[in-house]
Amino acid sequence: MIGDNIVLIGMPSAGKSTIGELLAADLHMGFVDTDALMIKKTNRRLRDIINEDGLSKFLEIQEATVLEINVAGHVVATGGSVVYSEAAMKHLKSSGRIVYLRSTYEEIEQRVAPDRRFARNESQSLKDIYDERIPLYEKYADITIDCSSKPAEEIAAEICSSIKNGK
């Protein structure tokens, strides 16, 4: 597995960063969070980019940030909207395996803070983006992990098992 990344995709609040850090520690790999890279690159909060510059600019910055990632042997936690960029997903897929952390809409709805601003148009509800993104997550996934009602440690262990078994 040396040089092979594990890339986590899924809805906002699916646990990509939390699970990614656990997985990286378990597998003795580095960890990269694309949202953290965007914050560092722009010196702004993600919600401020969306609120002040709009969704298109946010997605443009996200794509550019992902395309700059050049690591091996890392777990990469992505922003939930990364699947809107075919170029970003092609880049991520070329460096490793894509793991989709699948959660039910009801679980995501419970986890998302009411004031959380994420990549969506003002007219879109959380359910709208859930329905819009699920086919994209499924399209790009090499491995799908059902995260329903499971603790992060169990999900990380399941990913480790899937990777080691070549699934």
How far apart are alpha carbons 164 and 140 in whole angstroms?
20
CA angle 136, 64, 18 (to 5 degrees): 60
Taking Cα atoms as reference points, which of 103, 48, 97, 104 lies closest to residue 75? 97
How far apart are alpha carbons 69 and 111 in whole angstroms?
28
How far apart are alpha carbons 54 and 6 in whole angstroms?
30
Radius of gyration of the chain (CA): 15
For 111, the token pair is 């986890």
Predicted confidence pLDDT, tens digits, the chain (167 residues):
334 899 999 998 899 999 999 999 999 999 999 999 999 999 999 888 988 998 899 999 999 999 999 999 999 999 999 999 999 999 999 999 999 999 999 998 887 765 555 666 677 788 999 999 999 999 999 999 999 889 999 999 999 988 877 65
DSSP reduced 3-state for 117: coil
For 10-43, how does the pLDDT look when each residue is reduced to its tens digit (9 = 90+)?
998 899 999 999 999 999 999 999 999 999 999 9
Mean pLDDT estimate for the chain: 89
For 76-91, how does the pLDDT look when each residue is reduced to its tens digit (9 = 90+)?
999 999 999 999 999 9
- Domain regions of the chain by residue span: 5-160
Which CATH class, in words, describes the domain spanning 5-160? alpha beta
How far apart are alpha carbons 125 and 141 in whole angstroms?
24
